[in-house]
Amino acid sequence: MVLEGAGFDVTVPANNLVKFTSADGGTVNAGVVQSGGTQLQVRVPVTAVSGYVSVAVTGRTSNTVRWTNPAGTITIVKAATPDGPQDFTFTSDLPGIAPFVLNDSEPGVSNQRTFSNVDPGMYRFTENTVSGWTLSSIACTPSFSVYAKATTRTAILWLDAGDHITCVFTNARAAGALGLAINK
């Protein structure tokens, strides 16, 4: 976070720390990364949800600037080749989220799920194993905020304030797997 003064200097806080309120109501401190003139740059902890920074207007008064950590968004997308009515179940450590099902071609079942108003932090999304299918890739954007590995079937996301991360889990029918439908 960078605070920019408009025609005034930004005063470095006492002890070079800015205090923020965490999601659980406690206090977390953020160190000043850089300061000088009209700028104060602070690395805000991912657990911070809001905070106040005092800004001194040169030769006049002191103002308080309120900062709020905007929530982010995570979208998980399912792609499978060939298309078919196969359900893929996902789990996550995102608070309050039960396992969910995605399918890229079955009517009534979406191929994606978006989680809005997500607090900044680290989250895992894992696709369960499905017989006859191989998870060939997990591609996420932006990629610098994600560790994804198809062999572990998991994407680990570092969601910063206001970020939107999209991860596409791509499956292919395993070699030798048959997709037979028996009609009686």
| Structural domain boundaries in the chain | 2-68, 72-173
Per-residue pLDDT at 84? 79
- First-to-last CA distance in the chain? 64
Give dist(CA 32, CA 51) in Å, integer.
Answer: 14
Q: Which letter does DSSP use for residue 111 in this model?
A: S
Q: In a 10 Å sphere around its CB, with 0-12 CB exposed, 13-18 middle and 19+ buried, how is residue 115 labelled?
A: buried
Structure tokens at 47: 């657990």
Q: Which CATH number fits domain 72-173: 2.60.40.10, 2.60.40.1180, 3.40.50.360, 3.40.50.150?
A: 2.60.40.10
Helix (H, G, I), strand (E, B) or coil at 152: helix
d(CA 26, CA 24): 6
User: What is the tens place of the pLDDT at every residue in 17-46?
Assistant: 666 666 566 666 666 665 555 555 666 665
Q: What is the mean pLDDT of the chain?
A: 76
Alpha carbons 159 and 28: distance in angstroms, whole number: 18
Contact predicate 91/128, CB 8 Å = yes
pTM beyond 0.85, yes or no: no
The answer, yes or no, to whether residue 102 has pLDDT greater than 80, is yes
Q: Which of 23-32, 62-71, 143-152 has the highest mean pLDDT?
A: 143-152
